[in-house]
Amino acid sequence: MSVSIVPQPYVFFFKWLDPLTALYGVYLNFAAPQMAVQSMAPNSIYDPNQVFLFHQSGGLALAIAILTAAIPRYSSDLSVWRILQFALLLSDFAGLSGIYHALERQGRLHPSTWTSDDQGCGGTYVVLTIVRLLFVLGVGFKTRSTTKKNA
């Protein structure tokens, strides 16, 4: 099935916003790991001995940026798009779990305790997850008529 049936908001989101969001993750993990740590765990300190974790995360974010930029531009196969978005949806669920556990561990689950970084990071993950879930479920796609016209 062709992606020509994909609603334009999804196309814009997947071609432009998704890769840019992933590139920000690349920046944080490679160039500003202290900022990455403190954005979700303000009382924590970056430990340079754990740089390998940030490089692994940054490498994954780079792969995601490339895939999310390339697939919508080079594939017109809707199944390929859905497979990519389903895989990223699983990653989003893991990201949301990480945010939840970071907030829980610090006793900051109540929204009144959230920092602007918490709101930005958590909000971004929630939006990414919702858009991907809606896409995978086919929400917003026009239904195709299966009835034939009589000649």
Domain boundaries, the chain: 8-137
Angle between helix axes 51-74 and 18-31 (nearest 10 degrees) is 160
**Residues 71-103: tens digit of each pLDDT:** 999 999 999 999 999 999 999 999 999 999 999
Angstrom distance (rounded) from CA 95 to CA 101 = 10
pLDDT tens by residue, 104-144:
999 999 999 999 999 999 999 999 999 999 999 999 998 76
Nearest to 71 by CA among 1, 139, 142, 3: 3
Beta partners for residue 12, in sequence order: none
Burial 123-142 (b: 16+ CB within 10 A, else e): ebbeebbebbebbeeeeeee
Query: Which range (12-16, 44-48, 132-136) has the least confidence?
Result: 44-48
Instruction: Quote the tokens at residue 96.
Output: 């949301």
Location of structure tokens 């109540």: 110
